[in-house]
Structure 1
Amino acid sequence: MMNRIGDIQPLIQDYRSKISANESELTIKLLDDYEDLLQLFYQKNEMINRIWDFHENEKYQLAQETLDPLEQILYSSLLGIRTLDHEAKSDSAKNYLASLKKEIEKQLNHLKEASISVYPLCMQDLGSYGAIKSYYELFKEGKNITIDIDFKGTLKRQPHKVEIHIFRFIQHLIQIIDNLNTVVTLSITINEKDGRIVITFEGEALVERLNHSSNYQLFKELIDSIEDVEILEKNESTFNLVLQTIR
């Protein structure tokens, strides 16, 4: 959407250069109004992108300064309990340590899921595709939906903003689709080729069902505001999310 709207400005300028001096005031006024609307559109998109960047920075700080250290503390506590368990003599002490160990393991799993949802620090080493795998491994526990993720082509490291976009788009779409409670199986294929990353989502009547979701409509509006990204709905079951990595 962004690229198509961006094409309007050159057309307006070209038309202005061709209109005669006696062109009607209405025509000139319409061209002025179109240009004003374009400026408002660009300002809106710039604001959305600034908010996006601000939120991502906040999430990164939260994950790095709070969630990750807390996860390390819980893991260290778990190791300490395992050591104490070997040294405990009474059954009551062993039972207490076993229940404490179970609760810490439970909270550690919850924290891991929260951490990677807030901001996947593993992306720094593994890239967006490693972060997606880690997110899905945690997400699928206890879910009714079955998701098959397939990576194709040469999956290179991308600039950080592109990688966080890839991760966030897939994360949000998985959550939206899961909330539908009508999609049993979902296939996600990621293919990188010719300066484009194409993420294909496929499921029975997937697009038809998504188009009834207000969250999906909001997601499409967000995509429209981000340059070099677009959603292409192929049929009622399949759509592509396309990211241009080379301009």
Structure 2
Amino acid sequence: MTNSGTTQRVSVIGLGAMGAALAQALLRGGHRVTVWNRTPAKAEALVGDGAVLAATAADAMAASDLVILCVLDDAAVREHLEPAAERLRGRTVVNLTTTTPEQARSLGAWAGGNGIDLIDGGIMAVPAMIGGPRAFVLYSGATAAFERYREVLGLFGRAEWAGADFGAAAMYDLAILGGMYSMFAGFQQGGRMVRTTGGTATHLATLMAPFLQAMAGLFGQYALGIDDPASYVPEQSADFTVGALRTIATAADESGTASELFEVLLKTVPGI
């Protein structure tokens, strides 16, 4: 295998919107890229840019020292990797498919038993962001392999190491996505509420976005209460938070837009 900073042989399995964006970033970085997809037509643009289309997934994986998977789910990952175990021995596999932490740990154990270096990852970007300044990708698992290929992986976005626990990247990934979906749920509920007063969700968006961006600056403060609750002194008491959530829930009821969201949020208040 070559050292980082030189041309690498890299294979990408799965050419959906995200997989294709990853392969394109590798090509822009000057690497020798082999690709495979169930529907070969999806590889046409990449082949035109210099990628090599393999006849089978196993052939693609055998063509490179670094193999990247971006497929539907854990079952699809296993479907491709397990029959190719012998071909993958001594190589590095980076799984950028969204899975659970336990699925990542199970795959890590399987890889270790077959002499394969596994890095699990979570992509914090949409396809159009790949290779741009706002994209980052979380990685965990085989530490030495990550360091070996850090520069290559950095072509997708900032390479953020989460730790040797194979499930760490997946857990950070899902924690961040959980926060995102919670935020969107709050906006959707708020949009329904303001419309009952003649307002619009469009106007709410212009008000809520900058406010939430400012509130995100408090994450570090809240983190202290999770990491070291014994010494944490909150700026706002749990009673105040509970009262605010109950008032919001009452307003939703009164407006005819009642939601279970606020009861769920009440259960997350520390000490309640």
Shorter-chain TM-score tier: under 0.3
Give me the TM-score of the superposition, normalised by structure 2.
0.22
TM-score (normalizing by structure 1): 0.23
Greater relative contact order (Cα 8 A, min sep 6): structure 1 or 2? 1
Greater helix fraction, Structure 1 or Structure 2: 1
Larger radius of gyration between Structure 1 and Structure 2: 1
